[in-house]
Amino acid sequence: MENNPRSSAVPEPFSYPAVDGEIIVLLKDRPEFIVAGHVGPDGDCLSSQFAMAALLQKLGKVVHLANAGPFDRSEIAHLRSDFLTHIDDGLRGRNPVVVVVDCSSPDRLGHLADEIEGLTTLVFDHHSSGEKFGDYRYIVPRSVSTTMIIMHLYKTMGVPIDTEIAEHLFFGLATDSGFFRFLSSYRGETLRMAAELVDLGVSPNAMADRMSGGKSEGYVRYLGKLIDRSESLFGGKLMISSSYLKDARSFTTSDKPSDSLYQILLSIEGVEMVLYFKEIDHNVTEVGMRSAYASPINVGELAESLGGGGHRKASGVTLECSIDEAKRRLIEAAGALLLS
């Protein structure tokens, strides 16, 4: 019997699947592109857009960045002018290819979804849930970030990565991995890719400061208020907190405290799931969902069942109802999962 050096309990090393040849041909042959990302863009979305646009420009293409925004957070406000917020008829008439990055369903594009209808669309994403869309797709749910998918595309196409592009790729990885805190075992390929980017001139120290520094006093006070409002349910397995329209009048900050809130509430012993309710309008509520690393709860499936999407451990949905109704629905759904 042949001796297998790899234990059956140890998974095979992860590697990115080959990119379909039709996708490569499309990127090489078409002259003009729009690179679009989801509404309320985060670090992985924006970094993926910039890195993808740079790849196409290195191929000699005409490239337009597009995002419906908003760009109201302090760390991205200065980028607003780099993006189209609408696709006008003149641009549409030239029949560009639309490359959508870090977006699990067309509704996450906001009003851009209607404006790109009928154009050839190519999707690069790593979300495990959502609606299948686009004429061509390269979806890798096991990728830690969409920027790592874009990095794999650079390697596949033999396009060189300079320091500026490396910084975009690393920033998307750092934000979506919680600076490697969400990285599980047997994922050495991600660390090796990160090491390549560091060798290209990326400073992890500077990236960490960019992610966590520069917060206003209003941000810290707002975060404190959200922690103070938090509630423990189902024997401490669920923590919830809520943000209301009135908060905009009480706390002067354009930064989102939600990421820090999730981290703090998930650090409480016994907590398996966190729900964060944000009142957008009197009848529109955003719900962010996170589950603990050791918890079997798949919040991506929960979000998808309600029309949202995301990852197994991090997802969200926008509901057309009051914040009180959103709480009722989500707490009931969470209880069914946590107490089953």
Domain ranges of the chain: 21-210, 217-338
Q: Which of 297, 329, 334 is nearest to 313 (CA)?
A: 297
Between CA 288 and CA 9 the distance in angstroms is 34
Residue type, 42: D
18, 190, 336 from 12: Cα distances, Å:
17, 14, 34
- Give me the DSSP letters along 122-190: EEEE--SSS---SSEEEE-TTSS-HHHHHHHHHHHHT----HHHHHHHHHHHHHHTTTTTT--TT-HHH
Q: Are 99 and 36 contacting, i.e. CB atoms less than 8 angstroms apart?
A: yes
Give the model confidence (pLDDT) of 249-295 as tens digits.
888 776 778 989 999 999 999 999 999 999 999 999 999 999 998 89
Lowest mean per-residue pLDDT among 176-190, 226-240, 260-274: 176-190
Q: What is the mean pLDDT of residues 21-36?
A: 98
Give the model confidence (pLDDT) of 169-182 as tens digits.
999 999 999 899 88
Same topology, domains 21-210 and 217-338? Answer is no
Tokens 């404190």 map to which residue? 224
Q: Are 289 and 314 contacting, i.e. CB atoms less than 8 angstroms apart?
A: yes
Q: Are 241 and 265 contacting, i.e. CB atoms less than 8 angstroms apart?
A: yes
More confident: 315 or 151: 151
Give the model confidence (pLDDT) of 283-306 as tens digits.
999 999 999 988 999 998 999 899
Which SS3 state, helix, strand or coil, does residue 93 take? helix
Q: What is the mean pLDDT of residues 15-38?
A: 97
Q: Are 310 and 131 contacting, i.e. CB atoms less than 8 angstroms apart?
A: no
- Please give the model's pTM, rounded to 2 decimal places: 0.81
Pick among 2.60.40.10, 3.10.310.30, 3.40.50.720, 3.40.190.170: CATH of 217-338 = 3.10.310.30
Average pLDDT, the chain: 92
Mutual angle of helices 204-212 and 163-176, in 10-degree steps: 50
Pick among 2.30.110.10, 2.60.260.20, 3.90.1640.10, 3.40.50.720: CATH of 21-210 = 3.90.1640.10
Question: Which band of pLDDT confidence, cut at 50, 70 and 90, is reported for residue 340?
Answer: confident
More confident: 309 or 63: 63
Please determine, for residue 318, whether its predicted confidence score (pLDDT) is greater than 80. yes
The b-or-e profile of 72-106 (16+ CB within 10 A means b, else e) is eeebbeebeeebbeebeeebeeeebbbbbbbbbbb
pLDDT at 254: 67
Q: Are 335 and 319 contacting, i.e. CB atoms less than 8 angstroms apart?
A: no
Residue ranges of the alpha helices (H) in the chain?
A: 21-29, 43-58, 89-93, 112-115, 146-157, 163-176, 188-199, 204-212, 217-229, 247-250, 258-266, 299-305, 323-338
Q: Is 192 buried (19+), middle (13-18) or exposed (0-12) by CB count in 10 A?
A: exposed
